[in-house]
Chains A and B, each alone.
Chain A
Amino acid sequence: GAVVSQHPSWVICKSGTSVKIECRSLDFQATTMFWYRQFPKQSLMLMATSNEGSKATYEQGVEKDKFLINHASLTLSTLTVTSAHPEDSSFYICSARAPSEGGNTEAFFGQGTRLTVV
């Protein structure tokens, strides 16, 4: 199946600094990528939809100035957590939609990034 690579897999940063997470589709072009946040033992919560060449679409309650998304190419989307605080500590997952057999589409997920803000 299609491969989505997310980097880094884990990061520790100091409060007040910014952290960038990359999401790459390795063997297909992704016009749309999705960024999720997952709290321990909870489900995936969609944060935003990243659209190549245009602004991201944020879900209600997600601060777009806090979570900057850039989708500059068909294979790369980045999520930057600006001025991170301990409450931003979480597991962040990206996914990209790739065409599959019969024209159906499914989402492939990156490995996730565990962010810890100290």
Chain B
Amino acid sequence: AQTVTQSQPEMSVQEAETVTLSCTYDTSESNYYLFWYKQPPSRQMILVIRQEAYKQQNATENRFSVNFQKAAKSFSLKISDSQLGDTAMYFCAFMKPLISGTYKYIFGTGTRLKVLA
């Protein structure tokens, strides 16, 4: 069975600095997707960034980038120039297609990030 592990329950970073959130996963699949989702105090889940496993190039979205190490099954999120609005819970998620044609998402336990003024 697939598992997603986020080993940092809480982190803090000074505004304008850079922070990296860790995520490791375990799977025997070759075709899958990885995501980072943000859940602010409003509880609305927001997609931050996604990575297709077949792509070697690391995904980037403005201040957000990932370090995808497929062999090591590692998928860390780097937030540059941290902003107060980045304060939220961050979930790493693994998605795989199922034989039935649907998909299954598995979420990590989350990292609570606080950006300090």
B partners with A: yes
Are A97 and B103 within 8 A (Cβ)?
yes
Are A44 and B102 within 8 A (Cβ)?
no
The dominant DSSP class at the B interface is: strand
Are A32 and B102 within 8 A (Cβ)?
yes
Residue on B with the closest CB to A100?
B50
User: Contacts A106-B47, A112-B44 known; A46 to B104 CB distance under 8 Å?
Assistant: yes
| Chain B residues closer than 8 Å to A61, beta-carbon distance | none
Confirm or deny: B76 has a beta carbon within 8 angstroms of a beta carbon on chain A. no
The dominant DSSP class at the A interface is: strand
Residue on B with the closest CB to A6?
B44
Residue on B with the closest CB to A50?
B102
User: Contacts A46-B105, A51-B102 known; A95 to B45 CB distance under 8 Å?
Assistant: yes
A-B CB contact pairs (8 Å), 17 listed: A43-B109, A44-B91, A44-B107, A49-B102, A49-B104, A93-B43, A93-B45, A95-B45, A97-B102, A104-B33, A104-B52, A105-B33, A106-B50, A109-B37, A109-B44, A109-B46, A112-B44
Residues of A participating in the B interface, judged by any CB pair closer than 8 Å: 1, 32, 34, 38, 41-44, 46, 49, 51, 91, 93, 95, 97, 104-109, 111-112, 114
Residues of B participating in the A interface, judged by any CB pair closer than 8 Å: 33, 35, 37, 42-47, 50, 52, 91, 95, 102-110, 112
